[in-house]
Amino acid sequence: MLKSNLFSRINLAGLVVAVTIIIGLLGPWLTVGYDSYAKINPETKIGELFYHTRVELSPLYGSIYRDEVLVEKTWFITIGISIAGLMLLLTAVLSIFKYKKTWPHISLFISSIIGMFFFFLSVGSGISIGVDTYVGWGLEVTGLGLLILFVVSLRELTKNSISRFID
């Protein structure tokens, strides 16, 4: 009886959202390279820029690579970035459950957007995305999860409503 009650409270779309956001949180969001050097690609015969030192930042951890070897990995770098990661993680976990009211889905989406803004505000100025700092796959996967969460929130919001334009 307990098992059937638990499965009746799980939202499958919310489970997809949770898995997508958690996978995105574990991937790199921002990547910065230092100490650059150029190599010629043998296939295209065009020079490419590589970095001896690369820093990858995620809301939960930061990693330093030197010549493609992991040198250091630190969890919970700053308070602001950690709060943003924990907000997104809590949003992912709470999106799994079904709620009788519609406002929890909307508040989960709003808190996840606040978590994203909090992350970028905590990183600081001078990010220069596309010039010095590149977007990692973790940010893209988390963005996809937030897009799915937005669709699920809209679906839950309009599920029990009656259209005003009934003829």
Q: pLDDT tens digits, residue range 32-42? A: 887 777 888 78
**pLDDT at residue 2, as a whole number:** 55
Between strands 69-75 and 61-66, the pairing is antiparallel
Measured torsion, CA atoms of residues 78, 79, 82, 88, in degrees rounded to the nearest 10:
-140
> 62 - beta bridge partners?
57, 74
Q: What is the DSSP letter of 9?
A: T
Question: Residue 116: which of 93, 139, 147, 148 has the closest Cα?
Answer: 139
For position 141, what pLDDT does the model report? 92
In whole angstroms, give the CA distance from residue 141 to residue 104. Answer: 23
Take residue 138 and report the two structure tokens written for it.
Answer: 């973790």
Question: 76: which 2 tokens?
Answer: 């919970």
Q: Where are the alpha helices (DSSP H) in 26-164?
A: 79-94, 103-123, 137-158
CATH 1.10.10 for domain 2-158 = no
Q: What is the pLDDT at residue 23?
A: 92
Contact yes or no for 81/123 (Cβ under 8 A):
yes
Listed as ranges, residues in the chain with pLDDT below 50 are: 1
Reported as a single tens digit per residue, the pLDDT across 80-100 is 888 888 888 888 888 887 776
